[in-house]
Structure 1
Amino acid sequence: MFVPLHDGVPLRFLRVPYVTYGLISLCIATRIAIHFWTNEATEVAVLAGFGTIPSVLFGEARLPDELLKAPAWLTLMTGIVLHASFAHLFGNMLFLWVFGDNVEDAMGHARFLAFFVLCGMAGAMLHALMNPESEQPLVGASGAISGVIASYLILYPRVRVWGLAFKWIPLRIPAMFALGAWILFQLLSALFDQQGAVGWWAHLGGLGAGAALTPLMVRRGLPLFGRPA
């Protein structure tokens, strides 16, 4: 397990990655609001009403009429900013903080926001397709951030990233190794952790969407795969 801390890649086109900072702020504010202004029962209701529940998305189940909720299709987006705990939030926001600014720099503000949302939706949809009868809400920005990771790997595979291996060993290794190992872990977990509480397929859906969308959404002429300009 590798926890990224810093990459040191300077921004080339933007002065401030407003969208990255805005997304982090929105996710943090949402988690704080849920924590301090709901009790246990209402928190569960919020996650159920605005997270992606596969069986509800496909019309096999229905939430109570009196529950405040988003339309089923819209939960593919609303679930992105919800997190089940502060630990869940911290892990996602750390990855977004380290890698999001450079991907936003490569795409521009508007395209990066669209990219982030599309990757999150793709992740939630693949999770639902792989678990169509599930009644558990999928929440979190993991699918969207997985798309960011895929994009960063395409843009900066040779950049050396500072991080902690196994959560405590400091290392500085190329992104292709650090993030490649992370991707392999997601794939193996999706295949073998059938009863896990983590949305592994959402991660893979976001990765796939990120890899497919990156060549279409980066600035014209920007080199990919670490090639010289």
Structure 2
Amino acid sequence: MSEEQHGLPEPETGRNHSAGREPVFNLAPAVVGFALICIAIYAVQAMLLDEQGQIWLLVNFAFVPIRYTGPYALDLAAFISPVSYSLLHGSLAHLFVNMIWLAAFGSPLANRIGTARFVAFWVAGALAAVALHFAIYPSSATPLVGASGAISAMMGAAARFAFYVDRRQSKPAFNGPLLPISLVLSSRSVLVFLAVWMVVNVVTGVGFGGGPDSQQIAWEAHIGGFLLGFLGIKFFDRPSRNENLRETRTE
């Protein structure tokens, strides 16, 4: 998609557009699937594994930066943990919060791009999150877990398509064309969303272990995921979503 196209969907206002909206929690099969996997893994971890078993789980499936920078041979865990960490959670509260955000932001995206693309997007978001975390904490020996890096990528993607509605077409709000970055960054609604997202991430990162000694996803990893979603959604979006971009009009 060219970022230089003109004539964009009209900004959403206070008028009634309920007929063109789809429910936020219209759960897609892919979202349900990921949620069930995360819940099942945590249930096994919390109810069936003893302390030694939980340590084994973290060593083999959580992302541990020092695995790559320390004097260790690269085993299977070195290749699967940059993605498998996103299916693990450090506490019931951690799991609950992430599943709520997954339902809210993952459902519109999965319904928009389809199951296969959504799975690929999850993997890419998880990788982007740990890439930035690794760049900042390359020698950390603390396991990194949680779906919030991948979910942050979904939030970044939502900023490109969820804040504008084409009033001339009876399509759900989330099914509109992908908007150019220049227009997105000039939208007050998007800027408020970005500001709130950043403040929440910094506050939770500082308050609940955003540094290298935390098992929770650090806010730096959130940023890595968010940037992947915001800048890279065009590589996962269906081309048909953007074919009418030239025909839409601004207010």
TM-score tier by shorter-chain length is 0.7 to 0.9
2:119 equivalent to 1:107? no
Report the counterpart of residue 181 of structure 1 in structure 2.
196
2:139 equivalent to 1:133? yes
Taking the aligned partners of 1:24 and 1:191, their CA distance within structure 2 comes to: 26
Unmatched runs of 5 consecutive residues or more in structure 2: 1-19, 166-172, 174-188
Aligned pair in 2 of structure 1 residues 117, 156: CA closer, same or farther (>3 Å)?
Answer: same
TM-score calculated relative to the size of structure 2: 0.69
Which has the larger share of strand? 1
- Higher relative CO (CA 8 A, sep ≥ 6), structure 1 or 2? 2
TM-score calculated relative to the size of structure 1: 0.75
Out of 57, 70, 79, which is 1:60 matched to?
70
Query: Where does structure 1 differ by over 2 angstroms across 4 or more consecutive aligned residues?
Result: 157-160, 174-180, 183-198, 226-229
Q: How far is the alpha carbon of 1:184 from its aligned partner? A: 4.1
**1:202-213 alignment, distance < 5 Å:** 202-213=221-232
Aligned pair in 2 of structure 1 residues 84, 70: CA closer, same or farther (>3 Å)?
Answer: farther
Retained in 2: the 8 A contact 1:149–1:179? no
Please list the CA deviations of residues 163-185 of structure 1 after superposition, one character each: whole Å capped at 9, or x if unmatched.
xxxxxxxxxxx676345411344
Q: How far is the alpha carbon of 1:117 from its aligned partner? A: 1.0
Q: How far is the alpha carbon of 1:146 from its aligned partner? A: 0.3
2:138 equivalent to 1:123? no
Out of 17, 20, 25, which is 2:28 matched to?
17
Q: Give the number of the structure whose alpha-carbon radius of gyration is greater.
A: 2
Q: How many residues align?
A: 200
Taking the aligned partners of 1:90 and 1:175, their CA distance within structure 2 comes to: 26
**1:9-88 alignment, distance < 5 Å:** 9-10=21-22, 17-56=28-67, 58-62=68-72, 70-88=76-94
Retained in 1: the 8 A contact 2:62–2:84? yes
Question: What CA RMSD, in Å, does the superposition of the two structures yield over aligned residues?
Answer: 3.3
Aligned pair in 2 of structure 1 residues 85, 187: CA closer, same or farther (>3 Å)?
Answer: closer
Unmatched runs of 5 consecutive residues or more in structure 1: 1-7, 64-68, 161-173
What's the % identity of the aligned pairs? 28
